[in-house]
């Protein structure tokens, strides 16, 4: 028999966060989070997502053993402002036991129905900057710090519970040397002259922070038409600046401004911390921090985290300016592999943007949905 326990105490949350460490023990592909960071994500006093969202944290037990977990989320901005009657669920992990997963699915549905919501969808987080999707292909590739990894049996459990695929996501990678720089060096000069644009490069994190709010505003404007989009609020901007900007080499952040210094495009690339996080095994101290700092400076793999271009400048060659700046930076630092974060299958524009780099789809993931009413 499977029983559920809601996490409410500090000890509960620590147990909740540490469950995947046993589920994926020994996996060469799973990338563990930093336990402290994960706990702060679930802390209502620290994560501003809770100003516009409610969440319930459940652990599943069988034979007195922890065998599964799930976070049930209602994003009030999504439900009340966007009129999308959805109950979200994420951080969803379980052993290969259909009774366990079904019990957790039933709890998600129960909470959704209690709040008169019409469907459930997951796995997703609180916002668009959280992790998304259950892995459906590419189980033999190492994960990243900004994606969930899962065993291959997960999809079987979603389907057994009556959920169907809602949104598909692609993950691509390519060699930094795969594109001929002649494809963008000449074009970027023409684009900058035609539209009066200039690039802004950074050497120190302190230089980035004053412009970070403008970047998040542009992010909201760029992605607002995508079906999964929930805007980033003012308090979330401050939170994400603190949480992410310090992890990023300032040289990997590129801004493009117009003649009035209005931000019209940005791109953020992160060093790959995957192997460093595996060595840290959830702990910053005493040695985890050194693995992360080493990766920040020396990793030859990078992750394209975000790219945003103002709607008025899309399809006008602005990406050539961005690529040219990264080509110079990557050449200087000897970057080998470029990895892209999950992108919606429906986002054809983003795929067109990368076509000259000969990208390879090496992972696929999806969210799954079930109607409740």
Total domains present in the chain: 2
CA dist., res. 215 & res. 306, Å (int): 10
Give the closest residue to 16 by CA, choosing from 5, 31, 1, 27. Answer: 5
For residue 32, what pLDDT band results from cuts at 50, 70 and 90? very high
Same-domain check for residues 154 and 228: no
Same-domain check for residues 186 and 330: yes
In the chain the first and final C-alpha atoms are separated, in Å, by 28
CA dist., res. 23 & res. 217, Å (int): 38
pLDDT value at residue 319: 93
Give the closest residue to 270 by CA, choosing from 340, 197, 368, 172. Answer: 340
Q: Is residue 351 part of a domain?
A: yes
Q: Once rounded to an integer, what is the mean pLDDT over residues 171-185?
A: 91
Beta bridge partners of 121: 88, 369
User: Does 230 score more than 80 pLDDT?
Assistant: no
User: Does 44 score more than 80 pLDDT?
Assistant: yes
pLDDT value at residue 350: 83
Same-domain check for residues 163 and 275: no
Q: What pTM value is reported for the model?
A: 0.92
Q: Is residue 371 part of a domain?
A: no
pLDDT value at residue 171: 97
Range of the domain at 356: 174-364
Same-domain check for residues 184 and 281: yes
CATH of residue 248: 3.40.630.30
Same-domain check for residues 252 and 212: yes
Q: Is residue 127 part of a domain?
A: yes
- Using one digit for the tens of pLDDT, what is the confidence trace for 90-123? 999 999 999 999 999 999 999 999 999 999 999 9
Q: Is residue 88 part of a domain?
A: yes
pLDDT value at residue 227: 63
* Element (DSSP H or E) covering residue 55: strand 53-62
Give the closest residue to 49 by CA, choosing from 172, 201, 233, 175. Answer: 233
pLDDT value at residue 70: 99
Which of 66-70, 93-97, 246-250, 303-307 is least confident?
246-250
Q: Is residue 283 part of a domain?
A: yes
What phi, psi does 184 have (nearest 5°)? -130, -15
The average confidence (pLDDT) of the chain is 94
Quick check: helix, strand or coil at residue 198?
strand
CA dist., res. 136 & res. 284, Å (int): 31
Per-residue tokens: 111: 């909470």
User: Does 225 score more than 90 pLDDT?
Assistant: no
Q: Is residue 226 part of a domain?
A: yes
User: Does 129 score more than 80 pLDDT?
Assistant: no
Q: Is residue 28 part of a domain?
A: yes
User: Does 229 score more than 90 pLDDT?
Assistant: no
pLDDT > 70 fraction of the chain, expressed in percent and rounded: 99
Per-residue tokens: 263: 């931000």
* Element (DSSP H or E) covering residue 107: helix 98-114
User: Does 304 score more than 90 pLDDT?
Assistant: yes
For residue 254, what pLDDT band results from cuts at 50, 70 and 90? very high
Same-domain check for residues 108 and 138: yes
For residue 228, what pLDDT band results from cuts at 50, 70 and 90? low
For residue 351, what pLDDT band results from cuts at 50, 70 and 90? confident
Same-domain check for residues 301 and 209: yes
For residue 234, what pLDDT band results from cuts at 50, 70 and 90? confident
Q: Is residue 299 part of a domain?
A: yes
Same-domain check for residues 143 and 260: no
């Amino acid at each position: 028999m499977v029983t559920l326990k809601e996490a409410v105490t500090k000890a509960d949350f620590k147990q909740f966060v540490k469950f995947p460490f046993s589920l994926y023990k020994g996996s060469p592909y799973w990338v563990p989070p930093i336990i402290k960071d994960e706990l702060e994500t679930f802390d209502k006093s620290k994560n501003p997502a809770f100003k516009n969202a409610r969440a319930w944290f459940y652990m599943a037990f069988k034979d007195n053993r922890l065998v599964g977990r799930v976070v049930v989320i209602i994003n009030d901005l999504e439900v009340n402002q966007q009129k999308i009657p959805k109950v979200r669920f994420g951080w969803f992990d379980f052993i290969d036991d259909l009774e366990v997963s079904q019990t957790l699915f039933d709890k998600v549905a129960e909470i959704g129905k209690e709040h008169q919501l019409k469907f459930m969808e997951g796995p997703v987080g609180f916002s668009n900057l959280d992790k998304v999707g259950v892995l459906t292909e590419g189980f033999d590739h190492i994960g990243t710090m900004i994606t969930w990894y899962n065993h291959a049996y997960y999809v079987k459990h979603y389907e057994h519970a009556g959920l169907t695929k809602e949104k598909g996501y692609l993950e691509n990678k390519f060699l930094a040397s795969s594109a001929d720089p002649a494809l963008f060096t000449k074009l970027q000069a023409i684009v900058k002259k035609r539209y009066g644009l200039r690039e802004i490069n950074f050497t120190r994190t302190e230089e980035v922070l004053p412009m970070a709010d403008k970047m998040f505003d542009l992010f909201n404007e760029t992605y607002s038409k995508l079906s999964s989009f929930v805007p980033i609020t003012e308090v979330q901007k401050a939170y994400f600046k603190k949480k992410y900007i310090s992890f990023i080499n300032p040289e990997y952040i590129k801004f493009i401004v117009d003649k009035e210094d209005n931000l019209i495009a940005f791109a953020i690339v992160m060093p790959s911390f995957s192997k460093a996080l595996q060595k840290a095994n959830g702990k910053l101290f005493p040695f985890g921090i050194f693995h992360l700092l080493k990766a920040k400076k020396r990793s030859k793999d990078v992750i394209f985290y975000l790219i945003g271009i103002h709607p008025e400048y899309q399809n006008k060659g602005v990406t050539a300016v961005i690529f040219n700046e990264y080509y110079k930076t990557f050449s200087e630092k000897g970057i080998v592999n470029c990895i892209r974060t999950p992108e919606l299958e429906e986002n054809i524009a983003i795929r067109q943007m990368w076509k000259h780099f000969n990208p390879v789809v090496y992972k696929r993931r999806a969210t799954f949905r079930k109607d409740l009413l």
